[in-house]
Amino acid sequence: MNLNQNIKISLISAIDRESHTIGKEGGGLPWKIPEDFLHFKKTTMGHPIIMGRTTWEEFGGKPLPGRHHIVITRQTDYKIADEISDRVSVVTSIEKSLELASEIENNSHKENKFSGENKEKEIFVIGGAQIYELALPYANRLYLTLVDAHLDGPVKFPDYETASFTKIIFSRKSRDENFRYEFLVLEK
Ligand SMILES: NC(=O)c1ccc[n+]([C@@H]2O[C@H](COP(=O)([O-])OP(=O)(O)OC[C@H]3O[C@@H](n4cnc5c(N)ncnc54)[C@H](OP(=O)(O)O)[C@@H]3O)[C@@H](O)[C@H]2O)c1
């Protein structure tokens, strides 16, 4: 795979602190955390985002503003509506998604089209579980929201602790007194 070494590959996810659950049985997020939505928006804005076909379909066909979407599927005939095809690409492997995302990120910096706050060259894998698993070996950085929800479900974030993400580069506890969570950024 031909990847530019100057581009960070990051995974971003909200996970149950104990069980690492990320999704409900049958789909959807297990919680609604407005501060985490804002954190996700601020962190990923202006950068390409990579996701599995299941996660993409949870967006209901509406791409998020300001970010190019790359959807991974094994279906070679998977269709995206014409009116959003300039903002959403479809690929059939994690490697192709990372190559395309790198190309898009490099071009947006070259053409000075970059619109986000985070000026670093960075591409984001936004889930779900199957795609995090495929992307983890390529990742340089993890943005994790550890949620004290005490729930357990079948859809889980992969085991990142043994993948040696031991360096904490950012940590902040939630401001919400009733619902505890913590923003963490980890590197190898
Ligand atoms: N908490 C969080 O931060 C967070 C973030 C994102 C998602 N989620 C949750 O996670 C759940 C979805 O996760 P998921 O694991 O079920 O689905 P997913 O990872 O979003 O997508 C799975 C799909 O990706 C494609 N795929 C998987 N492996 C592939 C490979 N090797 N090559 C090509 N394509 C491949 C397949 O699409 P085809 O079947 O079309 O071939 C597969 O069905 C939802 O509940 C969602 O709400 C949580």
Task: Show the domain range for 105.
Answer: 8-187
Residue 54 lies in a domain: yes
Residue 3 lies in a domain: no
Q: What percent of the chain has pLDDT over 70?
A: 97
30 lines ligand 1 (CB under 6 A): no
Q: What are phi and psi of 58, to 5 degrees?
A: -70, -15
CA-CA distance, 48 to 123, in Å (whole number)? 5
Residue 174 lies in a domain: yes
Residue 2 lies in a domain: no
- In this structure, the residue with its CA closest to atom 40 of ligand 1 is 73
Cβ count within 10 A of residue 16: 21
Residues in the chain: 188
CATH number of the domain enclosing 50: 3.40.430.10
Q: In the prediction, which pLDDT does 42 show?
A: 95
Per-chain mean pLDDT for the chain = 93
Instruction: Say which DSSP state 138 is in.
Output: G
Q: In the prediction, which pLDDT does 114 show?
A: 64
Which is nearest to 10 in space by CA: 54, 40, 37? 40
Atom of ligand 1 nearest to the CA of 133: 19
72 lines ligand 1 (CB under 6 A): yes
Side-chain-side CA neighbours of residue 87 (13 Å) = 12
The residue among 182 and 164 whose pLDDT is bigger is: 182
Mutation probe of ligand 1 site: the residue of 16, 35, 74 with most atoms within 8 A of C-beta: 74
Q: Is the pLDDT of residue 78 over 90?
A: yes
Q: In the prediction, which pLDDT does 90 show?
A: 98
Please write the tens of the pLDDT for every residue from 39-53: 999 999 999 999 999
Q: What distance in angstroms lies between residue 13's CA and the mean position of ligand 1's atoms?
A: 13
Please write the tens of the pLDDT for every residue from 89-131: 999 999 999 999 999 999 988 877 666 777 799 999 999 999 9
**What is the number of domains present in the chain?**
1
Q: What's the whole-number mean pLDDT along residues 56-81?
A: 97
Mutation probe of ligand 1 site: the residue of 10, 89, 131 with most atoms within 8 A of C-beta: 131
CA–chain centroid gap for 86, Å, is 20
Q: In the prediction, which pLDDT does 101 show?
A: 97
130 lines ligand 1 (CB under 6 A): yes
CA-CA distance, 42 to 92, in Å (whole number)? 28
